[in-house]
Amino acid sequence: MTKSSAFFATAPKGMETLLADELRALGASAVAESRAGVSFEGSLTLAYRVCLWSRIANRVLLPLATFAAPTPEDLYNGVRTIHWNEHLGVENTLAVDFSASNSQITHTHFGALKVKDAIVDQFRDATGERPSVARECPDVRINLYLLRDVATISIDLAGESLHRRGYRALGVEAPLKENLAAAILLRAGWSDIARAGGALLDPMCGSGTLPIEAALIAADIAPGLLRTYYGFLHWRQHDAAAWATLMVEATQRKEAGMAHLPSIVGYDADPAAVRLALANVEAAGLHGHIHIERRELAHVEALRSTAPGLVAVNPPYGERLGEVTELQHLYKALGDKLKEYFVGWKAVVITGNVGLGKSIGIRARRMHTLYNGAIECKLLSFEVDPQWYMGHHARNIAAAVVVKDDRVPDEQSPLPSMPSAKLEALSTTIESSNASVEILNPGAEMFANRLRKNLKTLGKWAQREGVYCYRVYDADLPEYALAVDIYEQWVHVQEYQAPRTIDPAKAVARLHEAMAVLPQVLGVARERIFLKVRRQQKGKAQYEKQDALGALHEVREGGCKFLVNFTDYLDTGLFLDHRPTRALIQQLAKGRRVLNLFAYTGAATVHAVVGGASATTTVDMSATYLAWARRNLALNGFSDRRHEFIQTDCLVWLDEEKQRRFDLIFLDPPTFSNSKRMEYTLDIQRDHVALIQSAIKLLDRGGVLLFSNNYRNFKIDGAALSGLVLEDISRATLPRDFERNPKIHNCWKIMRAE
């Protein structure tokens, strides 16, 4: 394969441009960016060079064929047209990765089995023997991507993700991936800084990924030099001589580059993280070249450097909402250290919470979007310029005083309502404290501007998609920790309760500022805005009605109508983050028998009936919610004749029901429940396997189970559910208005393995 061939290098979202630049520098031609990767052309030796030297890519794919595959039979037949004995033999092992987008074949496990069957059947028919499957380190890894029913099948030359450099056996909780660390450093211009003699400091180094990647870049060390496994090493067309030449070259470049390493330092307050970092530095062959030390941020001081250097930091993001208060102080302390000791240096901070980034107190000169796994992050680039931040600080002092609080959302706190009468009393309190809401102070103006920006973007999207109820703001600014939902001509506001460390008067002031802004920006009369405040409650109080107004309002969604209540209950009766899931139920329901478990107010049932379900069964423990569900069904013009409502404990009903079968089941349990009518507690993490297995028993052949929950740290136990086909559709069913907070929603499409 000395001729030029087409290849495709995959990369995490947001890194495509960096990868394209890297490929050009390595000698690739016809470089073209696309989503999550870059296509390029070159020799097989070039592809090997990319595997060895790319700091950004995940995989390097060699496409073998492209063919139409709208059906499983077409997929099977298309794979069999390839002469697989040119790539592996019966003595080899193989693995298949399958992914699909906008195609009729949607089940990744099923698709992978079809590809595997086509390959091994070809060998069996020709020789009577077949290759074996190996999930870990196969001799040949095959990748099939199905886009709009067109399949592209490739040899994965990397074999496993190239971000695995080979120096990190262990990591701290939520470690930074190696190629993301490299992307941060490349965006920061670290190569030029290192060549000029500038040092690097990571004051929160964790397991040492940023310092190690910085050393690899500065010393011209190939990131894949330590790896012992690649997907091409046992491939039948492997060019061993070309690979050996590349390895010799990389070793020589490393030896030359190690002599020119600048000072690279990593600190961390956690002794366990420091031990891991030291072990990883040792494994990377960089002992004595990177200084790792246990040190609190408060004790960070200036580094000696012949030229201005780089501070690179991956601080905590505050994924658990209760952490944000502490983290605001941490980010501020980081900014104070930069201004005290690192004037003239550059700094980069990657964060999943831009609001926290503002606490640094230095304006970012540039901002790039990168992804740390599924978390959308912003890479903030700073130049520590004393003239700018001193002038900015002086302007802030001259401006109106901004009352700051550190309120953060608490996802598990219930929401008692605050009727308009209480808001009037609140107004009196604010006026007596000499706070002005007629002329917005800078903080309130900031909230108003963010609300306007969100409304402009999401309003256009909602109009285009026919969405009438959506979230327009969700604690985007830590100082204004509200969730603002638009329900047609009404607005539902939830304020997350402030921590005890916050002065209650300041928290009330912030709330009043926000409530003054909302009518102006949203153009909604005050009497159509309803407020609830999160307060920690215990016992049965968290399940009771919060008011006695009883007013229901009619809203629309996806061709359906629903009754919502803004004052009486913890929620309105319509979970907005489930909107795409309900649309999927409507799409799948035609002619099917549908079961809705933990049904709440029956919104999923209504969508199923509107979608043409032949019959539905709706199960919930609450008589109030079931009555509400019946009213929702009647509102859409349907009777109970073919639609059954059962008031009981869903867990007991699942255990006792033996006869009925369903074609579509929606299972949406709470995260935790200990209702007095239940004989035991429900913990979704602990109990989800048994719950899914019980529901699957009621699923007819070819049926579909949609399993959803809202536990942010949920992990599905795939091993315990190995007999089922699990398709994670969390991203696909996450509505755009909740993309700021992707962990709010988990959803799987589950079927029996045929």
CATH number of the structural domain spanning residue 323: 3.40.50.150
pLDDT averaged over every residue in the chain? 86
Type of residue at 297: L
Same domain, 671 and 741: yes
Whole-model pTM: value is: 0.56
Q: Is 464 helix (H, G, I), strand (E, B) or coil?
A: helix
Q: Give the pLDDT of residue 169.
A: 66
The two three-digit tokens of residue 421, written as one number: 């009468």
Q: Indicate whether 553 belongs to any domain.
A: no
473-513: pLDDT as tens digits:
998 887 788 899 999 999 999 987 666 666 667 777 888 88
Calpha distance 313→315 (Å, rounded): 6
DSSP E strand stretches across 58-179: 59-68, 93-101, 132-133, 140-147, 150-156
Same domain, 661 and 719: yes
Last residue of a domain, one of 156, 187, 208: 156
Q: Indicate whether 173 belongs to any domain.
A: no
Number of independent structural domains in the chain:
4
Range of weakest confidence among 186-195, 568-577, 729-738: 568-577
The H or E element that residue 326 is part of is helix 324-341
DSSP E strand stretches across 454-504: 469-474, 482-487, 490-495
Calpha distance 398→100 (Å, rounded): 57
Q: Indicate whether 408 belongs to any domain.
A: no
CATH number of the structural domain spanning residue 66: 3.30.2130.30
Same domain, 22 and 142: yes
Please state the separation of Cα 607 from the chain's center in Å. Answer: 27
Count the Cβ atoms, other than its own, within 10 Å of residue 586.
21
Phi/psi of residue 355, nearest 5 degrees: -60, -40
Q: Regarding beta strands 490-495 and 482-487, do their DSSP bridges make them parallel or antiparallel, or are they unpaired?
A: antiparallel
Q: Is the pLDDT of residue 593 over 70?
A: yes
Calpha distance 490→377 (Å, rounded): 32
477: left (phi over 0), alpha (psi -120 to 50) or beta: beta
Q: Is the pLDDT of residue 222 over 50?
A: yes
Q: Give the pLDDT of residue 511.
A: 85
| pLDDT range class, residue 326, cuts 50, 70, 90 | confident
CATH number of the structural domain spanning residue 468: 3.30.750.80
For the chain, counts of helices (H) and of strands (E): 20, 31
Calpha distance 188→194 (Å, rounded): 11
Same domain, 139 and 48: yes
Instruction: Please provide the DSSP assignment of 506-559 as one string.
Output: HHHHHHHHHHHHHHHHHT--GGGEEEEE-----GGGGGS-S-S----EEEEETT
Full residue range of the structural domain in which residue 643 is found:
575-752
The two three-digit tokens of residue 284, written as one number: 């990377």
Q: Give the pLDDT of residue 500.
A: 62
The two three-digit tokens of residue 365, written as one number: 């000169």
Same domain, 104 and 21: yes
| pLDDT range class, residue 545, cuts 50, 70, 90 | very low
The two three-digit tokens of residue 129, written as one number: 């023997």
Q: Give the pLDDT of residue 496.
A: 79
DSSP E strand stretches across 223-374: 264-268, 291-294, 307-313, 346-351, 366-372
Q: Which residues make beta-bridge pairs with 664?
A: 594, 704
Q: Give the pLDDT of residue 187.
A: 96
Calpha distance 654→709 (Å, rounded): 18
Q: Give the pLDDT of residue 605.
A: 97
Report yes or no: 579 and 487 within 8 Å, Cβ to Cβ: no
Same domain, 390 and 493: no
Range of weakest confidence among 109-123, 457-471, 534-548: 534-548
Q: Give the pLDDT of residue 674.
A: 63
The two three-digit tokens of residue 530, written as one number: 């309803």
Q: Is the pLDDT of residue 455 over 90?
A: yes
Cα torsion at 313, 327, 376, 188 (round to 10°)? -20
Same domain, 359 and 446: no
Q: Indicate whether 65 belongs to any domain.
A: yes
| pLDDT range class, residue 400, cuts 50, 70, 90 | very low
Same domain, 76 and 118: yes
Same domain, 144 and 287: no
Which candidate, 542, 536, 571, places its Cα nearest to that of 676?
542
The two three-digit tokens of residue 632, written as one number: 């929702």
Same domain, 373 and 422: no
Report yes or no: 11 and 36 within 8 Å, Cβ to Cβ: yes
DSSP E strand stretches across 241-355: 264-268, 291-294, 307-313, 346-351
Q: Indicate whether 129 belongs to any domain.
A: yes
488: left (phi over 0), alpha (psi -120 to 50) or beta: left
**Which has the higher per-residue pLDDT, 640 or 265?**
265
Q: Is the pLDDT of residue 394 over 70?
A: no
Q: Indicate whether 567 belongs to any domain.
A: no
40-53: pLDDT as tens digits:
999 999 999 999 99
The two three-digit tokens of residue 156, written as one number: 């994965």
Q: Indicate whether 330 belongs to any domain.
A: yes
347-386: pLDDT as tens digits:
999 998 888 888 999 989 899 999 988 788 999 999 987 5
Cα torsion at 291, 295, 297, 302 (round to 10°)? -50
Q: Is the pLDDT of residue 175 over 90?
A: no
Same domain, 394 and 421: no
Please state the separation of Cα 740 from the chain's center in Å. Answer: 9
Q: Which residues of 17-47 are buried (b: 16+ CB within 10 A; e: fewer)?
A: ebbbebbeebebeebeeeebbbbbbbbbbbb
Report yes or no: 619 and 653 within 8 Å, Cβ to Cβ: yes
Q: Give the pLDDT of residue 174.
A: 53
Q: Give the pLDDT of residue 673.
A: 76
Q: Indicate whether 171 belongs to any domain.
A: no
Which candidate, 452, 454, 455, 456, places its Cα nearest to that of 444?
452
Q: Give the pLDDT of residue 440.
A: 61
Q: Give the pLDDT of residue 260.
A: 87
Q: Give the pLDDT of residue 327.
A: 86
Same domain, 459 and 427: yes
Label residue 361 exposed, middle or buried (CB < 10 Å: 0-12, 13-18, 19+): middle
